[in-house]
Structure 1
């Protein structure tokens, strides 16, 4: 709940206007005004604010400097960035603030309106709990825990749909591992995958989950639900000499074809033993498997490195997709990324689509598939099957109506 607000703006008129709008939206709220970043920091020494509205262009200490100070002090408050400067600059400052650990409710051109504050308030109420640090759970996980979890079938797969951008047709599902530990509760995949790599259990865990995914694929095929299955491979697994044989044996066991499976890898495959990793990927591609380069946009991958990986699909990371409807520079980056992928004859998947507005922007470009919480969160296999037969039709109708089709 927002009870204490600091408005920082060197224009007395704009500052008072923003304070008045805050009062109208939030009601009985303590509002303090400051004319520059230094005054705001002085106020924050005596009052812990829930929300800070920050102008960018100010004397003594401007908004960008103030945001840097707030980040360095790790203050637990939300910020809303407002300015009369161009939208590209405002948005870039917002990205900077988020990278500095601040909870950014939005980046807007002045003047601030009640609609803007209501939108920001919805994000404030939706603040997620901070993710657990690796020490919270991972320190308790060793190789024996992982082996026991596999023996007791504690690992499960959830599936997130991959839909065509045009027509909203189901074309694939990405299998995502989940672990609900009987004592520690839910353990993040980031933690148990890292633990598996550390304790030399990543290969048996991968094969364990692959068999589970392939059994589910057979079930869907039997009922006429035919779409590709995407499965993630750790860079360490690619170094296994027998990996290709293990995968081929598994597909033979379940009577599946390589063309039905897409293996997803991150650009980290270009680190370490590059020759061995590329050998494995090239052999998988030669046998007919799809290869997706995942999380594109989060690291060092460029056009030259993309050409080195025998990829058939490029998955654009959510960092280049999230809030693209309100961040012009993201759309510019997306456009160049899509053009690059087209030049390399790669199928394009946009991940992390969370709003209709972002999807509408993506639909302007030759993006082949979309994936994200706007369409569906990762679902247990049975729930996923129900989603296909009921929710997908409703979703398709809602999107077409919103697009006026």
Structure 2
């Protein structure tokens, strides 16, 4: 586990707590352990080391320069070393600092309450991905593209749909997939969707992109149907299209063309999608429900009007944002919010989908709280349509372990 981690710096003003952390690190096999009694000393140590340590363990409550100020200074100086945040303060404060670290573009391996223990520290260090996986390591240069290249990619079918499984939390049975747009390049790299989707929205290409992905997804669902694999597919619906009077008709034509039932297609709408033209958006969503399509409120909990949207719109599904799922087993405030959202959705007879499921602890919590479906790297990453049946055949033991709440082998 610690082969990649050959050095660590522990920053803590308490000599007792610092020596306790040092002992844990030695027990885990770390050979090079640096210590600093405060933030100033930590910065001096980092300045004199030929190479930065692989990981920093930073206490929050220290006299003079506290841990928050130290982290902010590290970010300002571009010292993006993976962090373990530790404190004896309340979990809400620790969680807030963890969010701050991520917002600064830094990697946080764990945010823990003191005193640290061996399983906690071991689990945190297991999340270390090596220098290339952190902001401190070399980053692969992303391919540049313009509107013309994006349009050509759409016309030449270079942008394709990949599918991430959505699995029943109780049974471990796959129930559906989410269709995700992917733009692979000839050299094996990929342009991230968070780069090309905004460009498509800004330059009038989002309609073509959405219908391209929807067409591929419906065609794939139809092929799976013929082979006895009946799944639903969730397709992201851009807010730009909620002002398009032709969209409902085009969506219905896709079903007819591929001989699908409307219950096999769910349109995912983010909370913020309905702000601009509420009247038009509500009309389109109501017509989609009249056609029998499912409607999912995506990234639930990240906006300020979630409950109001549930009242306004005939949603059939509530998708809880990963920020309320991942790590909830270890954070009281997240657990309370997650359970409240699931309880409310169940009372409203909504299907619940938790995204960002990455650990077995996340999964077990969802089982305890009565979530319907789970989606995330613990189950599987997105894959091509041809790969999914192969993945299913090879991962029956993986899904069985999830059903039983056991840690499966790596998918």
**TM-score, scaled to structure 2:** 0.89
**Counterpart in 1 of 2:398?**
395
Offset, 1:148 = 2.3
1:330-387 Cα deviation digits (max 9, x unpaired): 1111012223323443221101111111100111112111111111111111110122
- How much is the aligned-residue C-alpha RMSD, in angstroms? 2.6
CA contact (8 A) 2:300 2:306 kept: no
**Counterpart in 2 of 1:318?**
322
**Counterpart in 2 of 1:177?**
181
CA distance in 2, matches of 1:49, 1:171: 44
**Counterpart in 2 of 1:22?**
25
CA contact (8 A) 1:296 1:314 kept: yes
Offset, 1:117 = 3.6
**Counterpart in 2 of 1:291?**
295
Aligned with residue 146 of structure 2, among 141, 148, 157: 141
CA contact (8 A) 2:74 2:80 kept: no
**Counterpart in 2 of 1:107?**
111
Offset, 1:239 = 1.5
**TM-score, scaled to structure 1:** 0.90
**Counterpart in 1 of 2:380?**
376
Q: Which moved more, 1:272-281 or 1:145-154?
A: 145-154
- 1:201 maps onto 2:205 in alignment: yes
Query: What is the 5 A alignment of 1:5-404?
Result: 5-29=8-32, 31-47=33-49, 48-125=52-129, 128=133, 136-137=142-143, 139-142=144-147, 144-182=148-186, 185-391=189-395, 393-402=396-405
CA distance in 2, matches of 1:136, 1:376: 25
Where does structure 1 lack aligned partners over 5 or more consecutive residues? none
For residues 99 and 11 of structure 1, do their structure 2 counterparts lie closer, same or farther at Cα, with a shift above 3 Å needed? same
SS in 1 for 2:177: strand
Offset, 1:59 = 1.9
SS in 2 for 1:380: coil
1:166-209 Cα deviation digits (max 9, x unpaired): 11122211111111133694111111212211221111222222
Where does structure 2 lack aligned partners over 5 or more consecutive residues? none
